[in-house]
Amino acid sequence: MQTSRSEKLDLRLTPQAKRTLYKAASAAGRSVSEFVLESALARAEETLADRRHFGLDAERWEPFMAALEAPPREIPELERLMRERSIFEGGDR
C-alpha cells in the first residue's frame, strides 16, 4: 500500500548544491525529489535513533538500574516551585 503524498517542502539552495543533487539523483536512477526525500528520511532516522535507543555495557548497567530505582531526591526549590500558581493559570490565589 502506497501512501499518497499531500505535503510539500520547499528548499532554497545554491546553484552548486542543486547541480550536485541532480547529478547524484541521476547516478542513483532516481528523480531529484525521490533522491532528496529518501536521503533526508534516512538521515532523519539516524538522528532520531540516537534519541530513542542507547546501549550500556555490563559495567554501567547496574549503576544505571540503581539510579532508576532510587527514590527521588528532595529538592526544596523544586517543591516550592510546584506549589506556586503558574503564571499561565491567571486569577488571584
pLDDT of the chain, 93 residues: tens digit per residue? 567 888 998 999 999 999 999 999 999 999 999 999 999 999 999 888 877 777 889 999 999 999 999 999 999 999 999 999 888 876 655
Q: What is the pLDDT of residue 1?
A: 59
pLDDT for 65 equals: 93
Query: How many residues are listed for the chain in this entry?
Result: 93
* pLDDT confidence of residue 91: 60
- Provide the pLDDT for residue 49: 82
Q: Specify the residue for cell string 500558581.
A: 85
For the chain, give me the number of helices (H) and strands (E)? 4, 0
Whether the pTM exceeds 0.75: the reply is no
Quote the pLDDT of residue 92: 57
33: its cell numbers: 525529489
Give the per-residue pLDDT at 54: 76
Please report which helix (H) or strand (E) contains residue 46, including its range.
helix 32-52
User: For residue 39, with 0-12 CB atoms within 10 Å meaning exposed, 13-18 middle and 19 or more buried, which class applies?
Assistant: middle
